[in-house]
Structure 1
Amino acid sequence: MTSAINHQVQKIEISGIRKFFNRINHIEGIISLTIGQPDFETPQHIKDAAIQAINQNFTSYTHNAGFIELRQAISSFMNQKYHLTYDPTSEIIVTNGASQAIDTALRTILTDGDEVILPSPVYPGYAPIILQCGATPIYIDTTTTQFKLTAAHVKSAVTDKTKAIILPYPSNPTGVSLDKNELQEIADIANTHDLIVIADEIYSELMYDRPHVSIGTMAKERTIIINGLSKSHAMTGWRIGVLMAPEWLAKECIKVHQYNVSCASSISQKAALAAFSDGMNDAVPMREEYRKRRALTGDYLRTLGFTTIEPDGAFYFLARIPSDLSSFDFSVQLAERAKVGVIPGTAFDPHGEGYIRVSYACSQESIHEAFSRMQTFLKK
């Protein structure tokens, strides 16, 4: 019966992050430094807005792109925060999480034989969609460039089949981001070779030492920006993402979005309106706590012999392990013997071998205890 399955689907697998999380999650008493989910509660004013929407029976379909007041709030938020200018009537689409926005963007632009440039190690949510579109992900090893995709990388990888570049910054799994000059150099190459840029900026509100800069301010006419509320407002389960693109692209994306999901949840959209309007600075206290956890986690990792690159944003370290074990074996033994869960770097493609991803989206108490256990494990 396998002949009944789309051959592109047969090529893909369940995310390595989820597979490993599911493998170790049954271990009693384990401290998990695995999943990238904020440990904060959704702000109360956002929850109140959703409750009010339910009580007022705001429970029908909305415009495919999201109801207009929400798109206007998103436009204002992105302009104030990142100097991005998108028309709420024609250039903004509200999606079911950033993941659906990524899916919509890739399905809109890719055809059989296209190539998409990706920095590696990279979040595993892009390649499966690329493959389902009949296209090919082209992984660029960034382990020798501070986990940064450079203009030189892009220039050397471009072929006559290259359709797009994905810029997932701040990065999952590395936390690294690109500065204005680095982005401009990539934008110049995209212009020269007529490439689409997909900028996944879901962690944009979690930048620690400098403001986030969007390539959408440099190459708007060829850029699709992905954002959302999961990380910035602790709203992973609400499933609200945002796709922003110039009108010539957005009018094609809305077709894919419409036939996929019709529209995002009406209740979640009302909650999102509160987040994007009254919750302009909801991420600030979370970011300050993550900053403390970043320092704590980095100190522990370096003290125990891990090689690290300081994250610019998000809430991850991708750390090289002080061991000859493979990333997978190290992570399994750490979970089974020390009851500490991390993600093996190979979950982020083969260039992650030798690394583990450590999430500090957990309490400082959990971090202290996890590294105490890890220290004992390493001594043995």
Structure 2
Amino acid sequence: MDYETPLFFHVMEYADAADRDVVDMVSGNPDWEPPEALRDGLREYADFDPDRFQYPASEGLSELREEIAARRGVDAAQIVVTNGAGEANYLAMARALERDAGDEILLTDPVYSYYPGKTTMLGGTQRYVAAGAEGQLDPAAVRAAASDETAAIVVNTPNNPTGAVYPAETMRELVAVAEDHDAVLISDEVYDHYDLSGQFASALETESTHRIVTNAVSKSMAVTGLRVGYVIFPPELVADAKSRHMLVNVATTRPGQYAALKAFRETGPDYYERNRELLRERVDTFTDALEAAGAEYTTPQGSFYVMARFDGYPGTLANVERLIDEAGVAGMPGEAFGDSRSEWLRFALVTPRVEEAARRLAAYFD
């Protein structure tokens, strides 16, 4: 089996090896502070007795699962705490394919490139549904692509890379498509706290046994290295997911779970609003510069990515390397996200140097 190594790693290595100063806009690693309660939780944990550094329950600390369950309106027994949203999506896709209800995974184009790789690794086949110019997904197009071979429909809202946020009607219709084809809607909602539109709707708002929701504290609390995520399964799918999680990972970091729990309990909504406001300012700064450079671009409704198209400069890996060498800005090639955005580049607005990067791009493409 051929595994696909995401281009992220290649671009990051190339930027690190550059002979000049480079503004890194490759990966979605927030540069702002995590909640103070999370830091406090890690400090507290350092002084606990040795038994607290041993294996936790494989499915996650019971207190953390109960906290998540109360917030999301589900039963704690439906939740598996995972090594970030990455493992959550892996478990969700595995369970969808193990149902023997087809081996096809419907993905959007553009797509977060880890989804196709996971599909291949799990023995499934990919089928793509094109998103609109601003990244919105037409449920009618998803319905037209679905068949008896469809095991799962995987969506990400707010979306990476387009910044689209799917409204409640779209989410309801996607669940309905999954139900009609005995498939599972897998909704990756890791950017839910970065909804800039006020339109975000979780798949959990539609009661169904045909939807799985994944999430993590990685983005919302600016701790991508903590590796604490979770997945919410329908009751009939959770037992085997827990077994797979135990066999693959045994358990998730115990100190990290404790810190995440403390942060959930003690972090108010103002923390998340400050980060959204910072992101709004960066979107304005960056898109203003793209406008000045004559680029076509997306204005994100959520998440923290902007896609841009410069005339005569397609989004190839070679052009990304050229931009690093000649402009000192590192983004991602559009071709990494599917055929429909091969002319585009993607930039992550998670650096305090957004304004400097914008100036460099404007000057380079002037």
Q: Does the TM-score normalized on the shorter chain lie above 0.5? A: yes
Partner amino acid, structure 2, of 1:200: D
Superimposed CA distance per residue, residues 1-44 of structure 1 (whole angstroms, 9 cap, x where no aligned partner)? xxxxxx2xx2x221112222212222231111111110013222
Q: Counterpart amino acid of 1:109?
A: A
1:13 aligned residue: 4
Matches within 5 A, 1:185-204: 185-204=173-192
Distance 2:30 2:260 in 1: 17
Contact 2:292/2:362 (CA < 8 Å) preserved in 1? no
- State the match for 1:103 in structure 2: 90
Task: Select which of 27, 30, 35 maps to 2:27.
Answer: 35
> Counterpart in 2 of 1:182?
170
The alpha carbon displacement at 1:76 in A equals: 2.3
Q: Deviations over 1:214-236 (max 9, x none)?
A: 12211431111000101100111
1:317: which partner in 2? 306
Q: 2:223 aligns with which of 232, 235, 254?
A: 235
- 1:151 corresponding residue in structure 2: 139
Does the 8 A contact of 2:165 with 2:199 survive in 1?
no
**1:4 paired residue number:** none
The answer on 1:24 being equivalent to 2:15 is yes
Taking only aligned residues, the RMSD between alpha carbons, in angstroms, comes to: 1.6
Pick one of 345, 350, 358 that aligns with 2:339.
350
User: Identity percentage over the alignment?
Assistant: 28
Tell me whether 1:93 sits opposite 2:84 in the alignment. no
Alpha-carbon distance, 1:126 to partner: 1.0
1:155 positional shift = 1.4
Partner in structure 2 of residue 215 of structure 1: 203
Verify the 8 A CA contact 1:94 1:264 in the aligned structure 2.
yes
Aligned equivalents of 1:376, 1:303: Cα separation in 2: 9
| Alignment deviations for residues 168-212 of structure 1 (CA, whole Å, 9 cap, x no partner) | 111111111111112222222222222101000000011112052
- Provide Cα deviations, 1:352-375, integer angstroms capped at 9, x if missing partner: 200000111111xx1221122212
The answer to whether 1:271 aligns with 2:259 is: yes
**Which secondary structure does the structure 1 equivalent of 2:126 belong to?**
strand
Which stretches in structure 1 are left out of the alignment for 5+ residues? Answer: 1-6, 79-84
Does the CA-based 8 Å contact 1:201-1:226 persist in structure 2?
yes
8 A Cα contact 1:197 1:222, kept in partner: yes
Does the Cα contact within 8 Å between 2:175 and 2:208 map onto a contact in 1? no
Task: For residue 75 of structure 1, report the CA deviation from its aligned partner.
Answer: 1.6
For residues 321 and 175 of structure 1, what CA distance do their matches in structure 2 show?
Answer: 19
CA separation of 1:114 and 1:154: change in aligned 2, threshold 3 A: same
Q: Are 2:285 and 1:296 equivalent residues in the alignment? A: yes
| Matching residue of 2:44 | 52
Are 1:165 and 2:153 matched, yes or no? yes
- 1:359 pairs with 2:348: yes
Give the count of matched residue pairs: 360
- The code of the aligned residue for 2:357 comes to A
Whole-angstrom CA distance in 2 between matches of 1:350 and 1:211: 27
Which of 289, 293, 296 is 1:307 aligned to? Answer: 296
> Normalization by structure 1: what TM-score?
0.90
* Among candidates 91, 94, 114, match of residue 125 of structure 1: 114
Secondary structure of 1:221's match? coil
Letter in 2 for 1:94: V
Partners of 2:168 and 2:199 within 8 A in 1? no
Contact 1:77 1:277 in 2 (8 A): no
Distance 1:15 1:280 in 2: 35
1:268 partner amino acid: G
Unpaired runs of at least 5, structure 2: none
Q: 1:325 to 1:243 in 2, by over 3 A?
A: closer
SS of the residue 1:236 aligns to: coil
